[in-house]
A and B are shown apart, each in its own frame.
Chain A
Amino acid sequence: MAAVLLASAVLTLTFVLVEAAPGSAADLIPAERPLPPEARARLEAAYGLDRPPLARYGTWLSCAVRGDLGWSISRGRPVAVVLAGALPATLLLSGLALLVQIGLGVALGTLHVVRPRGPFDHAAGVLGLSLASIPTFWLALMAILALSYRLPLFPPSSSRSIGADAWPLAARALDTLWHAALPATVLGLGAAAALARYVRAGLLRALGEEFVRAARARGVPPSRLVTRHALRATLPPVVTLAGVSLPALVSGSLVVEVVFGWPGMGRLAYDAVVARDLPVVLATVLVATVVVVAGSLAADLGLAWADPRARGAVSEPA
């Protein structure tokens, strides 16, 4: 119920904001081409843009409840079809980026504490700080320059090779993963650096806990102490952070999607805002809201799995 109210409030606010901005979807016509006023009026009438805003919003809302998200003026297709094309691409990119974030973040954070104040600790610290500081667009461009141009290991753009449609399913899947590797890595790197700091702090705290000292007293080797005992204790905040960062990865993928020409939700939403394609704007906001709620739910479930103490708290009403 709370999720429905949240979605309704966000959608209404989005509609009001887009409506309050100057112009309309009829302005999709390049500004340099003189359009007679009567032609513009006919265009607006053809898309129903001449109707009062409240009537349009009401129509969109009632249709959306029945599963009809409207028509995209800027893409010439039903919004549901447009979303069906963009959402899987973003979910794949974000999912892979999340793997990079968790894998690299945990590895870097663990390296920090394996040999505190040693070369690994310093190197991991410098690397983490660098990754967190570098702007995503610059990292993306340098990745293209280094790994697509100088050393052509990965494709510089798109989600598939030319002619891949005719390939067998397995080949197409591998091809998509190959295309996603570079943008997903770039997208996940910055978030991984932040996660590494959490892991490091959590591990250092856990290593001082009684259960770890007891294990050490039992003769458990240091590396096993970290990976089997202390790391498990640091997982709850890591899972929570990863869960809540999923929406950020989805919405924050715009820059990566633009630079790599990745046909995902970020670009779709941006293009729709620029084109005043209101049905697409509302649909992408709706999806983003669902992802936020799903991310929080996933974080709660992950927390319950990682920390038995949290299971009761999760199941209790707030």
Chain B
Amino acid sequence: MSLRGAALAAAIVLATACGHGEPQAKASAAAQRGGTLVVGAITDADAWNEYVSQQTTAINLLRRIYLRLAQEQGDTKDHPPSFAPLLASSWSFSPDGLTLTMKLGSHAWSDGAPVTARDVRYTWTAQTSPDVAWTGVSSKERIKDVHVVDDTTIAFVFDRAYPEMLADAIEGGIVPEHVFGKVPFKEWRTYDWSTVRIGSGPFLLSSWTPGEEIALARNPGYADGKLPYVDAVVVRIVPDIGNLETQLLAKTVDLIDGVPAADAKRLAASPGVTLVPYDNPMFDYIGWNGTKPPFDDPAVRRALTLAIDRQAIVDDLLFGYGRVSAGPLLSSWWPADATLSPWPYDPREAIRILAAKGYGPGHPLEVELMSNAGNRTREAVAVKIQEQLAKVGVQVTPRTLEMRALREASAAGKYDAYLGGWRFSGKLDLKGIFGSASRPPGGNNVVAYASRETDRLIEALGTAPDWRTAKAAYAGVARQLHDDQPYTFLYEAKRLVAVGPRARDVVVDVPADPLARLERIWIAR
């Protein structure tokens, strides 16, 4: 949160009577139809086509306009997520496990045309077209072909069986061939998709005023006649989070996603405001430059990890909305190994290891720690780490760089350490981040980590036929990374949705999709 936002929020809370927010009504039996839900957002949409857009604001709304074949559920703790039918009513795998056949339900586009298997195949050709250049295309790399069996039956043919086949097949909203097909793929990235007003989901794009407002209207032809509960959703775009929080307190905004943890306590104390924390599919880390001594030494990296009190960072800077990270596998995700504990905070052991490596009071280890400008949490974390490592004799110099400058510096290997984070939906590209083939130039393994054992385990992961085998392989990778510490895995931060008194039944149970239940939110009048 900006300084001015904090000042305003603090002033508002001082100006209002303190009290506890009322519990959010959860019983959908009392749901009322009608009204307009007003959502506050600090960023605008960039394009109204999921395969062109890069912004989560647009993508989260597009998912309510162009339905997927199935909806991922949030039950990812103990096994891969289950899926609820959306456009597809049922599905099954062939005996060899290589063909996934899906049966479409009775759905229609908002112009009255039926949603057919040809739309599904057309969408796949768009997703994989180099001209469209969809950034999520890696989810389709194992799909060899998509066959139209009949108007309502579609078959995905994979080159091999693996646990996330269904997740990959349903990734991306289905678009109507009879409308989108009029625009050649080569022109998709320079076409104004806001002029296209069609959909299969509960909402349709009603209007878009860039920089100001997005309006969605109820789709009268939506398959579930009872939903959505609200007539319209209006997204107010205001870059200043302090202003949005004011509007939440003034009851002119009903919901804000991404409220800073620093404001959580103050907002929760305001009458009628409820906070809904949810698991953000992301972890933050320190990347150590694996090409530069002494950071190329796993023992030194381990010592540095031992000297950082990550629980204190979670408590003091995330205000408890997070947990210490043990590795790249999120604790709320089924591949996570519950037996793998984060390295403890042990400054004495850190001093011993560093002394064995020749570092001490007479010869302190010096580290320049980079973070991206504008990310106030990471800037504060850098200062906290500076303070903690000073206790073991390590001199840290925090340095803030603009994000692209930081990317260039890290990709060129011109750094000691940097603060970063990885977000993922569905699965994490471990090969792209930790595989030795993904080292710079070009790859995302900017810490230049190289381990034959890790490469072998990641390869094994890629050929695991079922999720239990994959889980074991994931555990092996996590343990190897835990020992080698190419990153110091810092924390998994929760994300917060703030809900005003009018909005009811706000449930966030799909980590990468906070508006997944948008059609079930209703307005109390």
Question: How far, in whole Å, are A57 and B379 apart by their CA atoms in the complex?
Answer: 36
List which B206-223 residues lie within 8 A (CB) of chain A: 207, 209-213, 215
**B-contacting residues, A128-180, CB 8 Å:** 137-138, 141-142, 144-145, 148-150, 152, 155-160, 162-163, 165
Is there an interface contact between A76 and B47, defined as CB atoms closer than 8 Å? yes
* Complex Cα–Cα for A144 and B246 (A): 8
For chain B, residues 29 to 56, give those with C-beta under 8 angstroms from any C-beta of chain A.
36, 38, 44-49, 52-56
Q: How far is the CB of A163 from chain B (nearest CB, A)?
A: 8
Bound Cα distance from A137 to B6, whole angstroms: 12
Given that A36-B432, A145-B15 are known contacts, is A30 also in contact with B56, CB under 8 Å in the complex?
A: yes
**Chain B contact residues: helix, strand, loop or mixed:** mixed
Is B243 at the interface (CB under 8 A from chain A)? yes
The 0/1 profile, CB within 8 Å of B marked 1, for residues 43-55 of chain A is 1011100000000
Q: Which residues of A contact B96 (CB under 8 A)?
A: none
> What residues of chain A lie closer than 8 Å to B12, measured between beta carbons?
145, 149
- Residue-wise, chain B 180-224 has the 8 Å CB interface mask toward A (1 for contact) of 000000000110111000000000000101111101000000000
Q: Smallest CB-CB separation from A33: which chain B residue?
A: B423
Q: By the criterion CB–CB under 8 Å, are B138 and A36 in contact?
A: yes
Say whether B240 contacts A22, CB under 8 Å. no
The answer to whether B194 and A261 have CB atoms under 8 Å apart is: no
- Let me know if A31 and B372 touch, CB within 8 A: yes
Contact with A along B251-263 (1 / 0, CB 8 A): 0100000000000
Which B residues are in CB contact (< 8 Å) with A33?
135, 422-424
Binds B, one of A81-89, A192-200, A212-220, A237-245: A81-89
Cross-interface CB contact of A34 among B48, B250, B422, cutoff 8 Å? B422
The reply to whether B246 and A76 contact each other, CB–CB distance below 8 Å, is no
Cβ–Cβ < 8 Å partners of B408 in chain A: 22-23
Task: Check if A76 sits within 8 Å of B192, measured CB to CB.
Answer: yes
Min Cβ gap A248→B in Å is 21
A29 on interface, CB distance cutoff 8 Å? yes
Cα distance A28–B246 when bound, in Å? 29
**Are the C-beta atoms of A85 and B130 separated by less than 8 Å?**
no
* Distance (whole angstroms) from the CB of A138 to the closest CB of chain B: 7
Q: A112 interface residue, CB < 8 Å from B? A: no
Identity of the chain A residue whose Cβ is nearest the Cβ of B58 in the assembled complex: A76
Q: Does B131 contact A (CB under 8 A)?
A: yes
Residues of B within 8 A of A46 (CB): 131-133, 189
Q: Which residues of A contact B193 (CB under 8 A)?
A: 76
Complex-state Cα separation, A148 to B213, whole angstroms:
19
Q: How far is the CA of A42 from the CA of B128 in the complex (A)?
A: 11
Residues of B within 8 A of A165 (CB): 207
Known: A23-B408, A71-B190, A149-B249. A32 touches B422 (CB 8 A): yes
Q: Among A27, A43, A150, A267, which residue has its beta carbon within 8 angstroms of that of B211?
A: A267
Complex interface: chain A residues within 8 A of B137 (CB): 39
A105, CB-defined interface residue at 8 Å = no
Residue of B nearest to A21 (CB): B404
* Alpha-carbon distance between A231 and B209 when the two chains are bound, in angstroms: 44
Bound-state CA distance A45–B189 (Å) is 11
Q: A263's contact among B135, B212, B407, by CB below 8 Å, is which? A: B212
- Is A221 on the interface with B (CB-CB < 8 A)? no
Q: Chain A contact residues (Cβ within 8 angstroms of B): what range? A: 35 or more
Task: Name the one of B8, B189, B243 contacting A261, with C-beta atoms under 8 angstroms.
Answer: B243
A114 proximal to B (CB < 8 A): no
Q: Write out the residue numbers on chain B whose beta carbons fall within 8 Å of the beta carbon of A43.
A: 133, 135
Please tell me if the beta carbons of A30 and B52 are within 8 angstroms of each other in the complex. no
The answer to whether A75 touches B7 (Cβ under 8 A) is no
**Given the contacts A42-B133, A82-B210, A156 and B246 also touching, CB distance less than 8 Å:** yes
**Is A58 part of the contact surface with B, judged by Cβ < 8 Å?**
no
For residue B18, CB closer than 8 A to chain A, the reply is no
A14 located at the interface, meaning its Cβ lies under 8 Å from any Cβ of chain B in the complex: no
B211 touches A76 (CB 8 A): no
Q: Which of A21, A34, A75 is within 8 Å of B210, CB to CB?
A: A75
| A33 CA to B138 CA, complexed, in Å | 12
Q: Smallest Cβ distance from B419 to chain A, in angstroms?
A: 11
Distance A37 CA – B282 CA, assembled complex (angstroms): 21
Segment at the A interface, from B109-117, B231-239, B314-322, B330-338: B231-239
In the docked arrangement, what's the CA distance between A5 and B44, Å? 35
Q: Which residues of B contact A159 (CB under 8 A)?
A: 212
Cβ of B402: which chain A residues have Cβ within 8 Å of it? 21-22
| A65: min CB distance to chain B, Å | 20
Q: In the complex, are the beta carbons of A260 and B243 less than 8 A apart? A: yes
Q: Is the CB of A37 within 8 A of B442?
A: yes
Q: A158-B213, A159-B212 are in contact. Are A141 and B135 (CB under 8 A)?
A: no
How many whole Å from A59's CB to the nearest CB in chain B?
Answer: 13
Contacts of B239 in A (CB 8 A): 258, 261, 267
Is B511 interfacial (CB-CB < 8 Å)?
no
Question: Is B404 within 8 A of A23, CB to CB?
Answer: yes
Complex-state Cα separation, A149 to B242, whole angstroms: 12
In the complex, per-residue mask of B424-458: 1 if CB is within 8 Å of any chain A CB, else 0: 10000100110000000011100000000000000
Q: Does any Cβ of A come within 8 Å of B403's Cβ?
A: yes
Residue in B234, B238, B444 whose CB lies within 8 Å of A35: B444
B405 within 8 A of A: yes
**Would you call A157 and B432 a contact (CB within 8 A)?**
no
The answer to whether B421 and A76 have CB atoms under 8 Å apart is no
Q: Does A27 contact B404, Cβ atoms closer than 8 Å?
A: yes
How far is A45 from B250 in the complex, measured between Cα atoms in Å? 46
Q: How far is the CA of A34 from the CA of B421 in the complex (A)?
A: 10
How near does chain B come to A159, taking the closest CB pair, in angstroms?
6
Contact B238 A158 (CB under 8 A): yes
What distance in Å separates the Cβ of A83 from its nearest Cβ neighbour in chain B? 11
Beta-carbon nearest neighbor of A42 in chain B? B133
Q: Is B60 an interface residue (CB 8 A)?
A: no
Query: Which residues of chain B from 235 to 288 have a CB within 8 Å of any chain A CB?
Result: 236-240, 242-243, 246-247, 249-250, 252, 282
Q: Hey, which chain B residues are within 8 Å of A45, CB to CB?
A: 133
Closest to B48 in A: A76
A138, B8: Cα distance in complex, Å:
9
Known A-B contacts A22-B407, A37-B442; A76 and B46 likewise in contact (beta carbons under 8 Å) = yes
B179 close to chain A: CB less than 8 A: no
Are A75 and B46 within 8 A (Cβ)?
yes
* The residue from A31, A35, A145 contacting B403, defined by CB atoms under 8 A apart: A31
- A77 located at the interface, meaning its Cβ lies under 8 Å from any Cβ of chain B in the complex: yes
* B11 interfacial contact with A, CB 8 Å: yes
With CB as the reference atom, state the residue of chain A lying closest to B136: A39
Give min CB distance, A22 to chain B, whole Å.
4
Q: Which 4 A-B pairs have the closest CB atoms?
A: A23-B404, A76-B47, A261-B238, A263-B211
Contacts A76-B47, A152-B250, A260-B238 known; list 10 others, CB within 8 Å.
Answer: A39-B137, A46-B189, A76-B49, A77-B192, A78-B192, A85-B211, A162-B36, A258-B239, A263-B237, A268-B211
Of the A-B pairs whose beta carbons lie under 8 Å apart in the complex, a sample of 29, sorted by A's number, is A21-B404, A22-B402, A22-B407, A23-B405, A24-B404, A28-B46, A28-B55, A30-B56, A31-B372, A32-B420, A34-B429, A34-B432, A35-B135, A35-B444, A39-B138, A46-B189, A74-B46, A76-B47, A76-B194, A77-B194, A77-B210, A145-B8, A145-B12, A145-B15, A148-B250, A160-B212, A162-B234, A259-B4, A261-B243
Q: Which residues of B contact A (CB under 8 A)?
A: 4, 7-8, 11-12, 15, 36, 38, 44-49, 52-56, 130-133, 135, 137-138, 189-190, 192-194, 207, 209-213, 215, 234, 236-240, 242-243, 246-247, 249-250, 252, 282, 372, 402-405, 407-408, 420-424, 429, 432-433, 442-444
**Interface residues, chain A, CB within 8 Å of chain B?**
21-24, 27-37, 39, 42-43, 45-47, 71, 73-78, 81-82, 85-86, 137-138, 141-142, 144-145, 148-150, 152, 155-160, 162-163, 165, 258-261, 263-264, 267-268, 271, 276
